């Protein structure tokens, strides 16, 4: 079955201009080429000719190689594959774009029929979702053991507020810069669960600060927080402001030498919060000096004996 | 316990589970070990029961009761003798009360006590200094 035809134009003097159409199987193209390179002295080329479009005057039916063998060599002819000379065996000869070329393949594929069915366009199907590749277990273990970190199943939730901590309670700070100070508990911050606390600053130098419950002792003393607005204080308020360093050598080696000035906003907030608290504190006697002083243990005192009255046992003598 | 324990004494129950209360010793069952005890006080009544003497600390307060007296008679005698009043006046009871109060102190109370002690000390020392001159 011939799919491809190669037409030769003879250049030999005797057959010059003669159009030789060779119809053969595409698989034989390589053979032909090989023949050409060898000169195919002894090969046989079967050549067929379609009568339809070929000018009989100028074509030559070749049936054996002998006569042409020496003729059909690269030097004697040039091979050209031309659309106009492509024919199909066994089929009605029709439009020149019969077997070779883009249009031939297109026609052959039948896409024109699909288009015709769909009104001139290719039917468009909705995109199918790619099914997630199911991860099947490897049949083989990897050669190297790569240590995999264990999964963290821990979920960090803000700590639950201790039962006896109400807004206004006086707390004793146990660690950090302000250890031993007695401070007023304002509120628990939502995101982190830390406690917002203030000295008041005037009494013991503790500013509006976040403090961890674990490092506090609650006392039974408390102050009323009427008139104190704590809405603007949240975790974001206390976030550290990162100073942007220039991204060059100077910036890299620069140290934060400049003293960190407290923003006037912070100072104003401190005052706004503290004023009503101080006023409330003045109503209870000794509360101001109590908060101004530090907590400590002296000889004979033990924390486990300093429990709340509700839990205290009466000591018999 | 050395010596005889008079049967009509008031003992004060000193174990932890029950409140401090005055209780009347009635009689000793097993001599020196267990006593029949009854505490008719209104604030800290002790049910009539046997109690090991180990749990009891005897006080000098007395109320005379006939031997084998039952609860009602006992109550009468108890009130007549004004046991509770005598007990409260005693320094023993006062020290107990003191210790109890100290144990109940809150941190704020402790602070106030400290301030009070300092104030007193200042006054005292000032006076002493004045006297020394």
Residues of A in contact with B106 (CB under 8 A): 219-221, 308-309
- pTM of the predicted protein model: 0.57
Tell me how close the Cα of B110 comes to any Cα of chain A, in angstroms. Answer: 10
Query: Is the pLDDT at B31 greater than 90, yes or no?
Result: no
Contact B107 A221 (CB under 8 A): yes
Give the tens place of pLDDT for each residue, B58-93: 777 777 777 777 888 888 888 888 877 888 888 888
Query: b/e per residue, A71-86, with b = 16+ CB within 10 A?
Result: bbbeebbebeeeeebb
User: What residues of A are in the B interface, CB distance below 8 Å?
Assistant: 170, 172, 219-221, 286-287, 289-290, 293, 295, 305-306, 308-309, 312-317
d(CA B4, CA B52): 16
A280: closest CA among A193, A186, A209, A154?
Answer: A186
Give the gap in angstroms from C-alpha A308 to the nearest C-alpha of chain B.
7
The count of CB pairs under 8 A between chains A and B is 51
* Per-residue pLDDT at A311: 47
Edge-to-edge strand order for the sheet containing A209-211? A209-211, A195-198, A182-188, A169-173, A216-222
**Mean pLDDT across B37-57:** 77
The HSE-up count of residue B102 (CA atoms within 13 Å, CB side) is: 13
**Structure tokens belonging to residue A174:** 């146990």
Does B112 reach chain A within 8 Å, measured CB to CB?
yes
| SS3 state of residue A278 | helix
Mutate to test the interface with A, among B54, B98, B101, B103 (most CBs of A within 10 A): B103
Q: What is the pLDDT along chain A (317 residues), one digit of tens a residue?
A: 334 445 555 555 555 555 555 554 444 445 555 545 554 333 333 343 333 434 444 444 443 344 444 445 444 444 433 333 333 333 444 555 467 788 888 888 888 888 888 777 777 777 777 766 666 677 777 788 888 888 888 888 888 898 889 999 999 999 999 999 999 999 999 889 999 999 899 999 999 999 999 999 999 899 999 989 999 999 999 988 777 766 777 767 766 666 677 888 999 999 999 999 999 999 999 999 999 999 999 888 888 878 755 544 443 33
């Amino acid at each position: 079955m011939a799919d491809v035809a190669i037409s030769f134009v003879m250049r030999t003097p005797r057959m010059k201009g003669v159009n030789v159409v060779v119809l053969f199987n595409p698989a034989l193209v390589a053979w032909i080429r090989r023949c050409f390179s060898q000169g195919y002295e002894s090969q046989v080329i079967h050549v067929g000719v379609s009568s339809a479009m070929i000018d009989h005057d100028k074509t030559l039916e070749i049936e054996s190689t002998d006569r042409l063998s020496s003729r059909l060599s690269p030097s004697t002819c040039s091979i050209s594959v031309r659309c106009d000379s492509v024919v199909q065996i066994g089929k009605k000869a029709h439009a020149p774009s019969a077997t070779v070329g883009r249009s031939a393949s297109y026609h052959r594929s039948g896409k024109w029929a699909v288009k015709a069915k769909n009104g001139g366009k290719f039917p468009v199907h909705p995109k199918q979702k790619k099914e997630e590749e199911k991860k099947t277990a490897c049949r083989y273990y990897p050669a190297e053991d790569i240590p995999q970190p264990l999964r963290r199943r821990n979920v960090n939730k803000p700590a639950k507020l201790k039962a006896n901590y109400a807004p206004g309670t006086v707390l004793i700070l146990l660690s950090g810069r302000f250890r031993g100070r007695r401070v007023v508990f304002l509120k628990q911050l939502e995101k982190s669960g830390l406690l917002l606390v203030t000295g008041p600053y005037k009494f013991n130098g503790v500013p509006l600060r976040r403090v961890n419950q674990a490092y506090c002792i609650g006392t039974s003393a408390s102050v009323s927080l009427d008139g104190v607005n704590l809405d603007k204080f949240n975790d974001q308020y206390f976030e550290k402001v990162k100073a942007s360093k220039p991204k060059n050598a100077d910036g890299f080696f620069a140290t934060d030498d400049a003293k960190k000035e407290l923003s006037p906003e912070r100072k104003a907030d401190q005052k706004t919060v503290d004023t009503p608290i101080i006023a409330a504190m003045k109503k209870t006697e000794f509360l101001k000096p109590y908060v101004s002083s530090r907590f400590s243990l002296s000889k004979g005192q033990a924390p486990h004996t300093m429990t709340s009255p509700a839990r205290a046992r009466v000591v018999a003598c | 316990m050395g010596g005889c324990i008079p049967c009509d004494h008031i003992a004060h129950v000193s174990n932890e589970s029950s409140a401090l209360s005055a209780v009347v010793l009635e009689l000793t069952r097993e001599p020196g070990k267990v006593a029949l005890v009854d505490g008719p006080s209104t604030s800290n009544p002790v049910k009539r029961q046997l109690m090991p003497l180990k749990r009891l600390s005897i006080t000098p307060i007395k109320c005379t009761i006939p031997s084998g007296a039952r609860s009602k008679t006992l109550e009468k005698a108890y009130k007549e003798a004004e046991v509770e009043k005598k007990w409260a006046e005693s320094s023993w009871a006062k020290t107990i009360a003191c210790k109890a109060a100290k144990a109940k102190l809150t941190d704020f109370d402790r602070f106030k006590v400290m301030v009070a002690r300092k104030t007193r000390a200042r006054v005292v020392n000032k006076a002493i200094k004045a006297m020394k001159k």
